[in-house]
Amino acid sequence: MGILSRFSTLMKANINHHLDVMKQPDKIVQKTLRDINLDLRTVNSERNALESDVKRAKQAVDECEAEIRKLERYRERVEERDYEKAMMFANKQEELETKKLELVSTYNQLIVDAKQLKLLEEKLALDLRQLELRSYSIREKTALLNQQEKINTSDSHVSSGFSSYEEELNFKIDEAEALAKLRNQTKEIENIDAEISKLIPNKDQESN
């Protein structure tokens, strides 16, 4: 199973953290969405194929057990009058017991693989929903920022040192709203930057 070779990596992947460390996650959102959708289609395809393998493996185990029971009945019928034939049945039965162990091992491994694929499918579906919500949030905040910037006539303060694109967007939105408030104030303001800082939440405190 190709996708199962990446099981641990995909299960441990933190989509939100991956976006948080990017300065402009909006540029990778669509690519990440495509990657997750591709992985989901792969998981679905492999799950369908695996379900057939599980059924065949279970059938092989059942048939082997049925054959063992049949040989056991044959051996019991002839063991008193035909020792050699009874031993022949016993030897075949022993061979099938060994084969059954292999078949059961294969069946159990397929069951484990199926459970892993199910878990991976659920995790990827959750990642997809989270990423879609994150993408919508970024677009919404960007649109709000653009709207605020059109209203304000003052130059925007250029910020730096943000840990994520969304953090920078939030700061710019706060700054834009602060500028909008200042435009409506009639009192004389000596230091515009200082007044803006008073109106904007402390981003260092927010991050703590």
Alpha helices in the chain (DSSP H): 7-12, 15-20, 26-78, 83-151, 165-183, 192-199, 203-207
pTM of the model: 0.59
Answer whether residue 104 shows pLDDT above 90. yes
What pLDDT does residue 92 have? 94
Residues 95, 8 share a domain: yes
Residues 102, 180 share a domain: no
Residues 165, 140 share a domain: no
Task: State the pLDDT confidence band at 19, using cuts at 50, 70 and 90.
Answer: low
Residue 9 in tokens: 């990596």
What pLDDT does residue 139 have? 76
Answer whether residue 156 shows pLDDT above 50. no
Residues 168, 139 share a domain: no
Residues 89, 30 share a domain: yes
In which domain, by residue range, is 164 found?
153-208
- Using CA atoms, how far apart are residues 136 and 144, in angstroms rounded to an integer? 12
Give mean pLDDT, residues 134-144: 75
Answer whether residue 178 shows pLDDT above 80. no
What pLDDT does residue 54 have? 94
CATH number of domain containing 68: 1.10.287
Boundary residue ending a domain (134, 151, 168): 151
What pLDDT does residue 72 have? 92
Among 2, 1, 7, 5, residue whose Cα is nearest residue 121? 7
Task: State the pLDDT confidence band at 83, using cuts at 50, 70 and 90.
Answer: confident
Residues 39, 24 share a domain: yes
Give mean pLDDT, residues 105-116: 91
The three-state (H, E, C) secondary structure of 4-33, written as one string: HHHHHHHHHCCHHHHHHCCCCCHHHHHHHH
Residues 202, 136 share a domain: no
The mean-pLDDT minimum among 67-71, 73-77, 166-170 falls in: 166-170
Residues 108, 194 share a domain: no
Average pLDDT score over the chain:
77
Residues 199, 120 share a domain: no
**What is the count of structural domains for the chain?**
2
Residues 201, 105 share a domain: no
Residues 161, 68 share a domain: no
Within a 10 A sphere around the Cβ of 59, how many other Cβ atoms? Answer: 12
